Amino acid sequence: MRRFVGLIYVSLASLTLMAAQSPNMSIPGFTKSDAQSEADWEAKFRAIPDPKIMIDTMKRLAARPHHVGSPYDKENSEWILSKYKEWGWDAHIETFNVLFPTPKERLVEMTEPTHFVAKLQEPPVPGDPTSSQQDEQLPTYNAYSIDGDVTAPLVYVNYGTPADYETLDREGISVKGAIVIARYGGSWRGIKPKVAAEHGAIGCLIYSDPRDDGYFQGDVFPKGAERPKDGVQRGSVMDMPLYPGDPLTPGVGATPDAKRLDIKDAPTITKIPVLPISYADAAPLLEALGGPVAPMPWRGALGFTYHIGPGPAKVHLKVKSNWDIKPVNDVIARLAGATEADQWIIRGNHYDGWVNGASDPISGQVSELEEARALGELYKQGWKPKRTIIYCAWDGEEPGLLGSTEWAEEHAAELHEHAVLYLNSDSNGRGYFGAEGSHTLESFINSVTRDINDPEKNISVWKRDQLARIAAARTPEEKDRARAQQNWDIGALGSGSDYTAYLDFLGVASANFGFGGEGGGGGVYHSIYDDYYWFSHFDDPTEEYGRALAQTAGTAMMRMADADLLPYNYNDLASTVKGYIGELQKLANDKRNEIREQNREIAEGVFTATSDPTKTFVPPPTESVPPHLNFAPLENAMDALTRAAEHYQRVAARAQENGGAAISGARLSAVNQDLLMTERSLLDPAGLPKRPWFKHQLYAPGFYTGYGVKTIPAVREAIEQKDWTLADQKIVAVGKTLENEAAAIEKAAAALESAMH
């Protein structure tokens, strides 16, 4: 197999286009001779990261609890800063002042039919030294739960998604005035209290069911990697699909003089009180529920029959927080670009944890730091990146992407002008490489992973992923596709880590990298057991995949920083968007057919005939059949986008066939500037319906999924929520955005074309 070649030669003064001759030496975006030099520097780079140093760094950073505002979080920021300086970077700390609630009172007790008080406490584990640092640990809680003190019958709502409430409707059960108990999973946690409140619940408990997160998955800690009975998943429940970051300063940096909302007006704080609990605490509550037996897919792995309620279990839930303003300290480090200093290649991960956070986030942070050390070393050896490289260690990711969002908001104008790429990593573990991101980066990411060695299998990371995709494919067609694809597909980005503001608010081409799938995964996620003892026993003890991540991400950073022509690929973008539009059309058709079928079944008496008279069953109501939507504006825009993408790639190909042409550095720089702005064209300044902060028209976290991505979200969510008028409007609006994108690509193509003459 032969891979597509980057096509363009750039020296400081001129650009020569030539056909690639040695596939081994070709790198997208580089001329052959520059590719040779780049490959040499990259090889030097990849030899530097040292797993032993990474282990030491993890021990250092995860030694004590280091949540926002804690002493050790502050110490870590200063230590990271000192390291960057030691490695030759231009580094500083930038501080924002954000709302960060911490628990003052927490109570969960069952008052009927028996009395039971939940422990709400994770016990230390013998042999695990940091698990006993109770003085410094944040208690188990969900940040940004409103204060409250409620007592009410309990209702089990499965994952607490909108679909689960439809099931409750069929069962004739309302949560109005009730406290709901939802299990983790099925959606991001913040969705659960949001949807519960929409349905009239007055409180929300979230627990880890051992089916999804505990002994059903494998042996529990400390015997194995999975969540023990008293383990609790902390986590934010702010309404991040509205906007992430400081709840009091949406859209602007939380600087001392920023205009702030009153806490009572902050829309991302929950409407009802919420607490997370362990399965040991949840079991007595769930076991005390009466009412109908929960539907089969709702049943977890606790050793009794799951019921829905409401009651007879009655619960008293009390949550009260200290609503303090706390500092978040972002460490920002730069290596200035030699010739294109105004084009920024940005790398980031957070360093704050809920507790010790060895896996989340330190496993990713140690790779990032090791990249920075290696790049610093190369720099000393004489390597100078064309573009400016910025490494960021974010504070306050856990409560709500605070550090990264505030920095993005504060520097929005500069980032708009300069940012080429934002590359994120969060947790990392043993296994397979995974990437999600802007689809203009798909070919680029594939090219990088072809050059990275998988430490377990001694084949390229690209190859191992390809073989895993072949193994995972279920149909012969999928198998064929997995084999034939020159570049495997990357997923789209939703939310859940610090790329969010860069992609969704600013329109910077972004990606998230990480390895995983073989290690312990999320077994102790957001608990006190996510510490070095756990990580070194169950996840990536040798840090060989930490090294692989440093090699992968560092190579990507160098390659993007040094490229002669920025290696975005618009054909990948166009074909992906085309797929999304097909999905939307299918979704609209499916919705129409489902409603028509359901109406028909109601009329036929299917629901009446198939209900068990000994059980309550409320048939669904007849709904009006959705209209056909006019997809032409999207389809026409799609044609324009495809034409523009093909035009751009054809310009390059034609130039390549011609064998070479001289382009001045200034004109090339202008073309690259046009290219980096193309992702901005995917924004709509008006943002998404009900959430103007989210401006990207291709990707967003779902309004009712929270982390899970919705692609072409304005249209998709309108269809999902059966708002046909909005869907028709948004088809027009997104069509306009895609036309803009096509125009931006045409502009870059024309500039490149004209520069070649």
Residues that bind its own copies (CB under 8 A): 210, 215-220, 224, 226, 293, 299, 301-305, 431, 456-457, 459, 463-464, 467-468, 470-471, 476, 479, 518, 593, 597, 601, 604-610, 612-614
| CB nearer to its own copies: pick between 203 and 431 | 431
| CB nearer to its own copies: pick between 386 and 591 | 591
Q: What's the Cα-to-Cα distance from 475 to each of 86, 464, 470, 489, 668, rounded to whole Å?
A: 53, 20, 10, 17, 45
| CB nearer to its own copies: pick between 298 and 351 | 298
| CB nearer to its own copies: pick between 466 and 673 | 466
Residue 511: helix, strand or coil by DSSP?
A: strand
Dihedral pair phi/psi, residue 63, rounded to 5°: -65, -30
| Cα(328)–Cα(406) distance, integer angstroms | 9
Q: How far is the CB of 127 from its own copies (least distance, A)?
A: 19
| CB nearer to its own copies: pick between 224 and 434 | 224
Q: How far is the CB of 113 from its own copies (least distance, A)?
A: 14
Q: How far is the CB of 288 from its own copies (least distance, A)?
A: 13
| Cα(319)–Cα(718) distance, integer angstroms | 35
Residues in a beta bridge with 103: 321
CA 753 remoteness from chain centre = 37
| CB nearer to its own copies: pick between 455 and 507 | 455
DSSP percent split of the chain into helix, strand, coil, nearest 5: 40, 20, 40
User: How many other CB atoms are there within 10 angstroms of residue 617's CB atom?
Assistant: 14
HSE, side-chain direction, 13 A CA sphere, residue 86: 10
| CB nearer to its own copies: pick between 229 and 320 | 229
Q: How far is the CB of 456 from its own copies (least distance, A)?
A: 5
Tell me the one-letter amino acid at 546. G
CA dihedral 190, 194, 200, 203 (to 10 degrees): 30
> Which residues lie closer than 8 Å to 738 by C-beta, 6 or more apart?
577, 634, 637, 638, 640, 641, 697
HSE, side-chain direction, 13 A CA sphere, residue 354: 23
Q: How far is the CB of 396 from its own copies (least distance, A)?
A: 35
| Cα(454)–Cα(457) distance, integer angstroms | 6
Q: How far is the CB of 145 from its own copies (least distance, A)?
A: 30
| Cα(437)–Cα(645) distance, integer angstroms | 18
Q: How far is the CB of 546 from its own copies (least distance, A)?
A: 16
| Cα(278)–Cα(48) distance, integer angstroms | 42
| CB nearer to its own copies: pick between 144 and 462 | 462
User: How many other CB atoms are there within 10 angstroms of residue 458's CB atom?
Assistant: 8
| CB nearer to its own copies: pick between 135 and 612 | 612
Structure tokens at 78: 């200063």
373-402 residues labelled b (16+ CB within 10 A) or e (exposed): bbbbebbeeebebbbbbbbbbbbbbbbbbb
Q: How far is the CB of 539 from its own copies (least distance, A)?
A: 11
Q: How far is the CB of 305 from its own copies (least distance, A)?
A: 5
Residue 333: helix, strand or coil by DSSP?
A: strand
| CB nearer to its own copies: pick between 341 and 468 | 468
Q: How far is the CB of 624 from its own copies (least distance, A)?
A: 20
| Cα(560)–Cα(440) distance, integer angstroms | 13
Q: How far is the CB of 466 from its own copies (least distance, A)?
A: 9
Q: How far is the CB of 597 from its own copies (least distance, A)?
A: 7
Structure tokens at 58: 């993890």
| CB nearer to its own copies: pick between 538 and 703 | 538
| CB nearer to its own copies: pick between 267 and 297 | 297
